[in-house]
Amino acid sequence: MRSCEIAVVGLGIMGSAALYALRRRNVDVLGFDPLRVGEPRGSSHGSCRIFRRFNFENPAYTALSAEALRGWRALEAHSGAKLLLDCPLLESGPPGSRLVQASRGAALSAGAADGAMTAAEANAAFPAFHLPETWEVVVQDNGAVLLAEAAVRAFRQGAGARIIQDAARLVPSAAGVRIVASGEDVMAKTVIVAAGPWIGELIPGLGAHLSVTRQAVGWFTPARPEIAALGRFPMFILDAPEGIVYGFPDFEGRGVKAARHDHGPRAGSDDWETPPTDNELQPVRSTLDRFIPGAAGPIAGRDCCLYTNTRPADLLPDRGEEFILDRLPQDRRIIVASPCSGHGAKFASAIGEMLADLALDEAFETDAAFRLDRFSSFGRAPAGAART
């Protein structure tokens, strides 16, 4: 039976980042994934994600974002690929918007300018927008369009025979963790599981703490293309009446990409095949019509993404929907890497390094908010505990 020191099961953006980090440390690592880069499944396909330095979800992400930015620049230098397209990020909402206040507070806490401006100033700077005069606005000038699919390719560059294109399941034993695939079985000392919406099927008991939702994404032909292009149009996150709606400038010639960030309907791990309906995209269309008329136009393309969300934790209820980046307490050879709840991709370069540290350094621990023992069903086992 073939063997390796570490296996990575699931090679979306998180798993590929871990594979890359381990290969850079000259570790004997193999990756498993049945999908080729670019296939429209799971959570990591598609051309772009928003990179933002200051995040409304959690002020602790500021340091993680700084690490990720260094990682993206290093990956660009190593791979020769362009992965970040500089683009401001506009965040706006009605007076008292938690989203806007939290983003502004994160910037101020880091000693950065908060980017606050009036709605009138924002509308003048970005003429595609028509924000209500009472709305609060912050603009982050250090945002970027993260080219997600290009990033996955860069992480996998040169991996060659280190990637086994097959689905896999885990069979722990005293000798190691056996990776069972249809082509060949592999015995690994440690396994990183980064399987996105399929992760609950691989880690016993984890599925009860997860919720997979279907997220409708649309590309809209801009009504005024000349003011919706990269350089004249920012990425945006709006705290709108229809929900949180985010989007990108038309940097590909496909139109303005926009979607709701609020969780969509519950879905299975394979509920990605049917394109979004007009009804599913109506909240996004209404938001563009009302607040970004320069981007509003016919739907030019449709896609579906799956968010794998963490349910609120009974022991840390205020940290619901946080990432899971931790060793499985019942078997510390298995590392759980996900779910990332629809906003983790921007951190992948930093999270890949964290996963490598978890796999190689028994003393390394992630933040308590990322650990599995925030769920009482995953009581924490001491380091060095017996393995099954």
pLDDT digits (tens, 9 = 90+) for 112-162: 999 999 999 999 999 999 999 999 999 999 999 999 999 999 999 999 889
In a domain, 369, yes or no: no
In a domain, 121, yes or no: yes
Q: Would you give the DSSP letter of residue 224?
A: S
In a domain, 387, yes or no: no
Cβ neighbors of 149 (< 8 A, separation 6 or more) are 37, 38, 44, 45, 46, 47
pLDDT digits (tens, 9 = 90+) for 285-340: 999 999 999 999 999 999 988 888 888 888 887 776 789 999 999 999 999 998 77
Residue position matching structure tokens 């806490």: 109
In a domain, 28, yes or no: no
In a domain, 297, yes or no: yes
Least confident of 7-21, 171-185, 266-280, 357-371: 266-280
Q: Which domain holds residue 226?
A: 85-147+211-310
Domain count, the chain: 1
Cis amide prior to 382 (ω within 30 degrees): no
Q: Greater confidence, 388 or 90?
A: 90
Cα separation values, 288 from 75, 140, 231, 236, Å: 34, 21, 19, 11
In a domain, 91, yes or no: yes
- For a pLDDT cut of 90, what percent of the chain falls above it? 77
User: Residue 92 maps to which CATH number?
Assistant: 3.30.9.10
In a domain, 276, yes or no: yes
- For a pLDDT cut of 70, what percent of the chain falls above it? 95
Position 379 confidence tier, pLDDT thresholds 50, 70, 90:
confident
In this prediction, residue 269 carries a pLDDT of 58
Burial group, residue 20, by CB count within 10 angstroms (0-12, 13-18, 19+) = buried
For the cut 60, the answer to whether the pLDDT of residue 387 exceeds it is no
Instruction: Provide the pairing of β-strand 2-9 with 185-193.
Output: parallel
In this prediction, residue 135 carries a pLDDT of 98
In a domain, 349, yes or no: no
Query: What does the pLDDT average to over 214-231?
Result: 95
